[in-house]
Structure 1
Amino acid sequence: MKPFDRLSTDPARAALIVILAFTALRVVFASLLGFGVDESYTLGQARFLALSYFDHPPLHIWLAHGAMKLFGTSWAVRLPFVLLFALTSWLMFRLTERLFGGWAAAWAVFALNVSVFFLASPGTWVVPDGPLLFCLSAGMLALARLFFPKDGEAPSAWGAWVVAGLCFGLAGLSKYSAVFVIFGLAIFMLATPHRRHLLHPAPWLGALIAAVLVSPVIVWNMSHDWASLKFQAGRGGGNGLTFPAFAQMVVGQFVWLAPWVAVPLAYAGVAAFGQIKDPRRLFLIALALPSIGYFTLQSLWSGWALPHWPMPGWFFVFPLLGLWLVENPDAKPSSETWAKWCAGLAVGLSLGLGIIGATGALTRFGVPVRADPTLDALNWTELRPLLIARGAGQPSGPVVAGLTWNEGGKVDLAIGDIAPVIVLGPDPRGFGFRQDQRSFAGRQVIIVALAGTYARQQAALASQFDVLGEPEKATVGRLGRPELDLVIVRAGGLKSATPRALALR
């Protein structure tokens, strides 16, 4: 089927070629682009193994910890996440193939991999979405074999639910939002004759297995006054009706998915409602709708939301897009033309952003630094020799401090393997939980911050030290070109060892 017949007449082989090609693209992209603020922060947290963590459950951080043992803090720590998404893409093929056939599955894999979000975030970066999607797709594939057996198959309910329980437990160890997809599964079962499975003990065994696997998250939260769950729940707080935030949320999802993928994806999802009596379509709609619906609508009353939050729901719409492309071969523009443009844009955007991130090319052509979309992926590597020269890393040497969690992550990535890094500002996130802050009382501290951040917090910092030195100017950039202005401040006698925001505990 065009355009895959140029790759292979076998849809599985064509899908594998697509997966291998995009895996190679991701490796190149990963090697070019520096670590974003979330990745820098995550790698810093990954230096300390714990049952769970403040921002998210632990699975991606445990995976990052293992990768750092092999690769240090080089770009190669992304490789396990790149390879994991290659496996996720194959699970997408198998799930869609079972539901709608091989060519629909090949299309679903292609569309998934050319989508900007899935190409970059879960497909390349050190974030929880990669393990989450792998675990969810593996669990749903196990149940799809039970719910939709092929002729001659006699799947075991015990085997399906044990595998699903393992996968859903690991999904819960990846990200809290896994619960929305599981909730969709429950809706599907209750709304269809598959509710009969609930009379069998196997689903309850699977639920027990999932609960045991998620227990580290519960134990950590219990011992930290439910800090992580309170933090995540608080992000959905009410601020009245905020239609601008809702509009930003909707547009943001389409931008993240890439408009040339988002439009047909949304169309295929809506079109599936016209045949909702088909249990295969209903299965996917039920898995997708809770995540997409809740997080999109939540922006109406919370005043804000991040467009990547509903993406686990959109993940389960891709099989419906694959089916629509197979069922509508005469659609305009043709599927072949659409595929060429999608592939070209995916390659161009990833390589273009990678090159800009590696070289800072935009600023060399007069674009303001703050307009560079890759600025957050600038590694602050120049800090390391500057801080070592000021005693960081020496026995009983100074503590290094940032003033925000995201700046602290950048500092931690640069120096955290040889000196303790803390955050003294009003929002330390996980920095406030990974070490006993009281042990730093009275210590000498080197504060590192963006110049603007330090100016805003300088007055408050004066009360936290016996002596607060004068700021020294420093810069970080790419290829020897300064791009960000920092300050380095020596401070003595840390009095407020616990950041103010630790009242959250």
Structure 2
Amino acid sequence: MTAATSAKPFRLLPDDPGRAALVIIAGFTALRIVFAVLLGFGVDESYTLGQARRLALSYFDHPPLHLWLANISMAVFGMTWAVRLPFILLFSGTSWLLFALTRRLFGGWEGVWAVAALNASLFFLASPGTWIVPDGPLLFFLAGGVLALARLFFPVPGETPSPWTAWLVAGLCFGLAGLSKYSALFVVAGLAIFLLASEHRRWLVHPAPYAGAILAALAVSPVILWNIANDWASLRFQAGRGGGRGLTLAAFAQMLAGQFVWLAPWIAVPLATIAAQNLRLLKDPPRLFLMALAAPTILYFTLQSLWSGWALPHWPMPGWFFVFPLLGAWMVANPAASPLPRAWAGWSAGLAVAIVLVVGGLGATGLLTRMGVPVRADPTIDAFDWAALRPVIAAKGAARGAGPVVVGLTWNEGGKIDLAVGDRADVMVIGPDPRGFAFRQVPRAYQGADILIVALAGTWARQQATLQGQFAVIGEPERLSIGRGGRPELDLVVVPARGLKSLSPVSVAAR
């Protein structure tokens, strides 16, 4: 057995690491396309696509880049699964950038292992790899910026990289990462830690990094301009999500468990173990580079759950992204480990394929509810579109001679409504948390207009009393059951109303 053969994660891969990485990337790209076809749009994707119909400098929940990309994708593909295609292809590019980064720091086969593990991880397989979320462009541009600097910090023999090119490319990439998601700042902070802790601190007295920082600021300027114009609403919203609630060990435990599940347990254990082992190897510049990039994101968002009372387990994932090269290096250096790395790779890839097919199939067919599982216990229930709402709204608009205004009662239900009918009717959200809907709603424009309130039956029952003070007239609710394959799964109500008075709930006591 040759050295190349023993280093392969899968026996049938080509002998050239670059070609082998392309084969793995192509295989997982095809798997993601299957996933995209099978699984409908989730709550966040539905909300994002609805918001993306209207171009803006930035948006309430996140910076704008993924919404701009979604807007272009909708113009090209319409409202079909294919709007995910640019995000799928973008992650294919991210995978190649990870391979190139790992190859430069450790070697070609190490890069192949890193790419295989990254793509088999559940979070990276599904969320930034398939779905319309900000993490896709975030990771692509973070990887691009880091690779540009790795060429400068770790040149191969005979290579004389230009510091101006490296820092300007990195600045542009980091700016575009910031135009994707605010958490890009933590990776940039990790870069600063690396510079201060290594011989590369000499770059701090060179003008090129500061020129790159100016370029980054220009790239992210739409976010700043939007926030200035909107009383810093987006930044205040994101900062408020980490508000203190005292010591909460339960939330911390949930955060750890959530990362464990999202990464996939069979990948999370070796990934975390290798990250811990590398804390003893920080004198090695490439390892220090990766650990400095990874640590701020992982540590901040994990520890934040201790005082905030909650956190979402996908928030630290951009940090874990930079640990995968270390995992790849370990796998090549320990081919006889137990369990055997190649066996682990085979099981990881096989489980990734199985999970995609099972989850995608369940989402497409609603099989769990057909088998008697309660709707609320079906994890795929949010991943189907409320398309049945469209003809109902169209018929009611035709009966009135004009398209009605459609009102949701929560931002997540509003996203589903907007995805289904937003190109046929104005959609807004009434309630204490309208999210991005609040920045496109002009209540006086709807005074006297026909309004249709659309909500899940349970939401309507909870909020019906507070709505009485927001309209002059509220009619009788009409029931509409929707589901997959013609089987009723969710009960909606469609309620006619007139005379909008307020977008905010009015308590019974206040009335």
Shared fold (TM-score, shorter chain, > 0.5): yes
Specify the alignment match of 2:385 in structure 1.
379
Specify the alignment match of 2:179 in structure 1.
173
Contact kept? 1:4, 1:14, Cα under 8 Å: no
Where 2:482 maps in the other structure, the secondary structure is strand
Specify the alignment match of 1:21 in structure 2.
27
- CA 1:78–1:374: 2 relative to 1, 3 Å: same
Measure how far apart 1:321 and its partner are: 0.4
Distance in 2 of aligned mates of 1:254 and 1:378: 27
Contact kept? 2:176, 2:219, Cα under 8 Å: yes
Specify the alignment match of 1:196 in structure 2.
202
Instruction: Please tell me the residue identity of whatever aligns with 1:255.
Output: V
Specify the alignment match of 2:239 in structure 1.
233
- CA 1:496–1:315: 2 relative to 1, 3 Å: same
Query: For 1:268-292, what per-residue CA distance to the aligned partner results, in whole angstroms no more than 9, with x for missing partners?
Result: 1111112110010000000000000
Measure how far apart 1:137 and its partner are: 0.1
Contact kept? 1:116, 1:346, Cα under 8 Å: yes
Distance in 1 of aligned mates of 2:400 and 2:71: 24
Instruction: Please tell me the residue identity of whatever aligns with 1:345.
Output: L
User: Pick from 111, 114, 118: which aligns with 1:105?
Assistant: 111
> After the TM superposition, which residues 58-457 of structure 1 pair with which residues of structure 2 at under 5 Å, given as runs?
58-391=64-397, 396-457=402-463
Specify the alignment match of 2:484 in structure 1.
478
Measure how far apart 1:5 and its partner are: 4.2
Give the number of equivalent residue pairs: 501
Distance in 2 of aligned mates of 1:170 and 1:54: 18
Specify the alignment match of 2:469 in structure 1.
463
Contact kept? 1:241, 1:300, Cα under 8 Å: yes
Measure how far apart 1:500 and its partner are: 7.8
Distance in 2 of aligned mates of 1:160 and 1:245: 41
Range that drifts further, 426-435 or 3-12 = 3-12
Distance in 1 of aligned mates of 2:202 and 2:491: 63
Measure how far apart 1:163 and its partner are: 0.3
- CA 1:57–1:66: 2 relative to 1, 3 Å: same
Where 1:493 maps in the other structure, the secondary structure is strand
Distance in 2 of aligned mates of 1:435 and 1:63: 23
Where 1:391 maps in the other structure, the secondary structure is helix
> After the TM superposition, which residues 35-74 of structure 1 pair with which residues of structure 2 at under 5 Å, given as runs?
35-74=41-80
Measure how far apart 1:352 and its partner are: 0.7
Query: For 1:405-444, what per-residue CA distance to the aligned partner results, in whole angstroms no more than 9, with x for missing partners?
Result: 0000000000000110000122100000024333222322
Query: For 1:424-480, what per-residue CA distance to the aligned partner results, in whole angstroms no more than 9, with x for missing partners?
Result: 122100000024333222322101001111111111111010101121111110010
Distance in 2 of aligned mates of 1:330 and 1:273: 23
Query: For 1:41-79, what per-residue CA distance to the aligned partner results, in whole angstroms no more than 9, with x for missing partners?
Result: 000000000000000000000000000001111110000
Distance in 2 of aligned mates of 1:4 and 1:345: 15
Measure how far apart 1:90 and its partner are: 0.2
Where 2:489 maps in the other structure, the secondary structure is strand
- CA 1:202–1:444: 2 relative to 1, 3 Å: same
Distance in 2 of aligned mates of 1:97 and 1:5: 20
Query: For 1:119-147, what per-residue CA distance to the aligned partner results, in whole angstroms no more than 9, with x for missing partners?
Result: 00000000000000000000000000000
Query: For 1:277-311, what per-residue CA distance to the aligned partner results, in whole angstroms no more than 9, with x for missing partners?
Result: 00100000000000000000000000000000000
Distance in 2 of aligned mates of 1:207 and 1:87: 24
Distance in 2 of aligned mates of 1:499 and 1:430: 17
Instruction: Please tell me the residue identity of whatever aligns with 1:449.
Output: A
Where 1:475 maps in the other structure, the secondary structure is strand
Instruction: Please tell me the residue identity of whatever aligns with 1:229.
Output: L
Contact kept? 1:392, 1:399, Cα under 8 Å: no
Report the TM-score when normalising by structure 1: 0.97
Distance in 1 of aligned mates of 2:451 and 2:43: 23
Instruction: Please tell me the residue identity of whatever aligns with 1:457.
Output: Q
Distance in 2 of aligned mates of 1:393 and 1:135: 49
Measure how far apart 1:3 and its partner are: 3.4
Distance in 2 of aligned mates of 1:148 and 1:500: 62
Contact kept? 2:431, 2:504, Cα under 8 Å: no
Distance in 2 of aligned mates of 1:218 and 1:499: 31
Distance in 1 of aligned mates of 2:400 and 2:113: 56
Range that drifts further, 209-218 or 428-437 = 428-437
- Alpha-carbon RMSD: 1.3
Where 1:175 maps in the other structure, the secondary structure is coil
Where 2:417 maps in the other structure, the secondary structure is helix
Contact kept? 1:146, 1:160, Cα under 8 Å: yes
Contact kept? 2:385, 2:416, Cα under 8 Å: yes
Report the TM-score when normalising by structure 2: 0.96
Specify the alignment match of 2:3 in structure 1.
none
Query: For 1:7-45, what per-residue CA distance to the aligned partner results, in whole angstroms no more than 9, with x for missing partners?
Result: 111111111000000000000100110000000000000
Query: For 1:98-118, what per-residue CA distance to the aligned partner results, in whole angstroms no more than 9, with x for missing partners?
Result: 000001100000000000000
